[in-house]
Amino acid sequence: MAKAIGVDIGGTGIKAGVVDLEHGTLESDRIRIPTPKGAKPADVLETVKQVLSTLGVQDSRLPLGVAFPAIVKHGRTLSAANIAKDWIDFEAERFFEDGLGRQITFVNDADAAGVAESRHGAARDARGLTILATLGTGIGSAFLYNGVLVPNTELGHLDFRGESIEKWAAYSAMERDQLDWAEWSARLQDFFSHVEFLFSPDLFVVGGGVSKHPEKFLPLLDLKTPIVAAVHRNSSGIIGAASLAAD
C-alpha cells in the first residue's frame, strides 16, 4: 500500500497523519498540537518535530508533505496573514528540510485541501471549475479545473469595505462578533456571491473546521452554483499535502 505523511500547519493547530494514497484516507490517528503563539519559523519547526515524533513513524523514505497558510512559490512563502511576518519571502521548504533532515514538499494549505477533495472527496470526477473555500481563522481557496490545480489563489483577500473579506466572513468572525448561524451565513453570502460572479464556477466545496456543520449554514446560501461540504473536513490539508508529496 502506497503511503505518505501529511502535515497541516494552521493558525491555531498543527495536525499530521499517515495517509493511504490509494483511498485518500488517514491510515493513522490524526495528531494535533496547538500552533505556538506568534507562529515564528523556529517555533513552528519545533512543533512540527513534536507532531511527527508523536506520530511515531520512523521510515524517512515515506514522502512528507507540509501544508501552510501562505502563498507558496518554489518552496518560498510570500505572504503571512495569520502567522508571523517572518514568513514573508522566506525559504520555508529549505528551512524545514534542513531542520527535519529530509526532503519535503511545501504547499499552500487550501491548495492541499483542494487536491484532497478533487482526488478523493467532494469534487472527485467534477468537470469544469471547482472552487474550494476553507473557512477557519481566515479564508483559503483552491481552484481546480478538470482536476488540475491552479495554485495560490487568495480569495480571502478580496477587498471588502477596505479590508480583506476574510475579516468579515471567516468562521473566526462568527465567534469574534458573536453571530448566530443566520447572521454569519449572510456574510458568507456576500463572499460566495462575489466569487460566483467573478469566476462562474461549476462547484463550490466548503472545507475547514466549519465543514463539520454543513446543515447549519449551507441551506441558508442562495447561489446558482452547487455548494457542498468537504468530505475529508479538517483532514483535507493532511491528505492533500501527502498526495502532492507522493507526486
CATH code for the part of the protein at 3-111+236-246: 3.30.420.40
Confidence (pLDDT) at 68:
95
Same-fold call for 3-111+236-246 versus 125-230: yes
Low-confidence ranges of the chain (pLDDT < 50): none
Nine-digit cell string for 221: 446560501
Domain ranges for the chain, please list them. Answer: 3-111+236-246, 125-230
Confidence (pLDDT) at 12:
85
- Model confidence pLDDT, tens digit, residues 80-129: 877 899 999 999 999 999 999 999 999 999 999 999 999 999 999 999 99
Domain 125-230 has CATH 3.40.50.2000: no
